[in-house]
Every structure is written in C-alpha cells, then in structure tokens.
Amino acid sequence: HLGNETAKAELGRATWKYFHTVMARFPVKPNVEESATLASFIQLFQRLYPCGECSEHFRTIIDKFPPQTSSRSSAAAWACHVHNEVNKSLKKELFDCSKIGDFYDCGCAEDAPATDE
Ligand code: FAD
C-alpha cells in the first residue's frame, strides 16, 4: 500500500537535520565513553526510527558501513556517507561530503565552548 509519502519525507528531512547536527556538535576529540555513547545512540536511533521500512533499510546500511565515532570529523563524514547511501537507493542527488563542515549549524554558538574545542 501507499502509506503517506509526504509525511514520510517530512519526517526524513527533520530527522536528517537533527542527525547531522548531532554529528556537527560531537566532540572534536571524544573520550572513550563519548564515542561509545554515540555508537549506542546510532544503533538505538536505527531501531526506533518511526518508519519501519526505513529502519530496516537503514539497518542493512549500518551493517555494511559501521558507525565511525572516534572524532567529530569521522562521525560527520560517516553520517554524510550513509545518508548518501539512502539517497542512492531513492535515486536522489548525492551530497558533496567534503562540504559538510559548517553546513549544520545548531544555532548554539553562544554556548560556552567545550574544553575539547
Ligand atoms: P533529504 O534526504 O531528507 O535531505 C534533507 C537535506 O539534507 C537535503 O536537502 C540536503 O540539504 C541535505 N543532505 C542531502 N544529502 C545529505 C548527506 N548525504 N549528508 C548531509 N546532508 C545531506 N525514505 C524512503 O522513502 N525510504 C527509505 O527507506 C527511507 N529511509 C530512511 C532512513 C533514515 C534513517 C532516514 C532519516 C530517512 C529515510 N527516508 C526514507 C527518508 C528520505 O531519506 C528523505 O528524508 C525523504 O525522502 C525527503 O528527501 P529530501 O529530498 O527532501 O532530502
């Protein structure tokens, strides 16, 4: 059956924005616990993603491309890559991951900078 493609796409856009912003704010040099926390988050994010078909599909992508959580730049590059894998399967334009740098702005520049930044 058809489902609701508009709602599914809106959920996807909101989720990707959030997902990439999480990566953009992940510590530049995380400690072991921070890296493990992001790895768990990604697994739970996949399992709890509200669109069942998408969740299943994303699981196969994560199995093939294990989450990279050793630094902000590796996490951001990994997230860009797996989003591009979804884009490919939906026949969408690919994003140039070399431009991921300042693309996702949390709007929280006024926060006290973290000690590792
Ligand atoms: P989106 O793909 O939502 O992207 C939003 C914006 O992010 C783009 O306009 C661009 O500015 C930017 N962007 C694009 N590519 C990247 C990238 N690689 N890295 C960083 N930023 C980028 N839909 C389905 O129909 N079937 C599925 O199986 C499916 N699986 C999904 C799995 C997950 C985990 C998520 C979060 C969404 C999934 N979706 C799926 C939804 C789908 O990915 C899109 O969100 C939706 O189709 C809307 O697409 P869009 O063209 O507006 O852009």
Of 107, 29, 19, the C-alpha closest to 71 is 29
- Centre of ligand 1 from the C-alpha of residue 82, in Å: 10
CATH code at 41?
A: 1.20.120.310
The pLDDT assigned to 84 comes to 98
Q: Ligand 1 atom 15: the closest Cα is on which residue?
A: 95
112: in domain: no
C-alpha span between 78 and 23 (Å, rounded): 9
84: in domain: yes
Average pLDDT over residues 13-40: 98
Q: Ligand 1 atom 48: the closest Cα is on which residue?
A: 9
Q: Ligand 1 atom 8: the closest Cα is on which residue?
A: 13
How far does the chain reach from its first CA to its final CA, in angstroms? 48
- Residue in 86, 89, 100 to alter for ligand 1 test, most ligand atoms within 8 A of Cβ: 86
- Interface TM-score (ipTM) > 0.90: yes
90: in domain: yes
Domain that holds residue 23: 5-99
37: in domain: yes
Q: What is the pLDDT of residues 27-86, one digit of tens each?
A: 999 999 999 999 999 999 999 999 999 999 999 999 999 999 999 999 999 999 999 999
Element containing residue 59 per DSSP (H, E)? helix 52-64
- Centre of ligand 1 from the C-alpha of residue 77, in Å: 15
Q: What is the pTM of this model?
A: 0.94
The pLDDT assigned to 80 comes to 98
Number of domains in the chain: 1
